[in-house]
A = this chain, B = another copy of it.
Amino acid sequence: MDLRYTEAEQEFRHELRSWLQSVLPDVPAEPGPNDWAARREYDTGWQKMLYEAGYAGINWPREYGGRGATPTEHLIFLEETEQAKAPYVGMNFVGLLHAGPTLVVEASDEQKAARLPGILKGDDVWCQGFSEPGAGSDLAALGCKAVRDGDQYVVSGQKIWTSFAHVADYCELLVRTDSDVAKHRGITWLILPMDSPGIDIRPLRTMEGQIEFAEMYLDEVRIPVDNRVGDENDGWRVAMTTLSFERGTAFVSEMLQTMELCRDLATFAERLGRWDDHGVRRDIGRIAAELDALWALTKRNISEATRTGLVGAGGSVFKLAYTDLRHRLGEVALHLLDRASLSQDDIGDLATGDHVQGRIHGLKMSIAAGTTQVQKNIIAERLLGLPKEPKWTSG
């Protein structure tokens, strides 16, 4: 075990840090949360800068235009960009971290040549059409139907949680091509060009009042069979391959922000005259300790990925512990905030709004990307070998 960075890793860090220092002054101001055109411009603009400097697709293989960085270098990249307050991946998320990696492993050479460069260069924004109103935790129950008509699929159905749908160019879409087999077996993975006729996108407001997601309605949308990635009815496996691309770095930026939020809360308590309250100290001290421990776990997961290529269920362990921590941090914060907790905006000269929004974020974290209940099942079944859920036989 060694937590020190190698010389090569340190060199990578220094180069990146210098580059960030040199270019960040040129990055424009971040647009407001609801100005989607401007946000696309901002996010893809940053992606173009990364591309030109050789940092685009940091974890992608070199042969597909990525940097081929190790998981540790990816960690360093995320640390440094966070520390420098560089833009986030934003709406390049699906392309860079989900659809792109899937294409790298599963797509045909033609498909790769056609689609990968656009993602890396920031030309194309992707969205994800996986979840449906009736298929959330049970994703394989999806019903969005695709019927083959010559060299096209005709797709009708509804998708939900489709972030950035209204500004995206492509969508990684899961459709049902066979309803007569076990549910995992009849799914197909398609590339949907978002300018296809028959797509209706409706904004979906979240509990903060923001429009972060969308619902996507498909009405006889025609998708060329050439846009299929993998075989017909083999889409579940194709969709799951992305998991093998996850190298334990999924929550790094988020964790670093939470560490900041925790320090902020201590400062806040101090300014309120509550830092002498030993209960508040222990609560915050303990959360700070757990964040350090989760940071260590992150490094263990990354080291495992470096050695084996996979994180395995360690990602669920992280997610479960981190989510629980966010809930507790949010609750400590709201109790300290007292009446200021009634506002998502700052009250007075302290950044109280961050803590209220942080509390809401915690509520989402235990649901999004696999609910707490799903994570516990994964840990119990995959890591501890406990029996699976029994099949449901009515009452």
Contacts and interface: CB of A to CB of B under 8 A. Distances in A.
A388 B393 contact: no
Interface in A148-163: none
A33 interface: no
Contacts of A279: 277-283
A189 B278 CA distance: 57
Interface in A347-393: 387-388, 390-393
Interface residues of A, number: 15
Contact of A392 (B277, B281, B390): B390
Identify which of A278, A281, A387 gathers the most chain B CB atoms within 10 Å of its CB: A278
A395 interface: yes
Contacts of A390: 390-394
A395 to B, nearest CB: 6
Nearest to A390: B392
Given A280-B278, A280-B279, A387 B393 contact: no
- Chain multiplicity (copies): 2
Nearest to A276: B278
A277 B279 CA distance: 7
Contacts of A393: 390-391, 393
Contacts of A282: 279
A114 to B, nearest CB: 43
A391 B391 CA distance: 8
A390 B387 CA distance: 15
Interface in A262-286: 277-283
A281 B278 CA distance: 10
A282 B282 CA distance: 13
A395 B395 CA distance: 18
Nearest to A279: B279
Interface of A: 277-283, 387-388, 390-395
Given A279-B283, A390-B394, 14 more contacts: A277-B278, A277-B279, A278-B279, A278-B280, A279-B280, A279-B281, A279-B282, A387-B395, A388-B395, A390-B390, A390-B391, A390-B392, A391-B393, A393-B393
11 contacts: A277-B278, A277-B279, A278-B278, A278-B279, A278-B280, A279-B280, A387-B395, A390-B390, A390-B391, A390-B394, A391-B393
Q: Which 7 A-B pairs have the closest CB atoms?
A: A279-B279, A277-B278, A390-B392, A278-B279, A391-B393, A390-B390, A279-B282
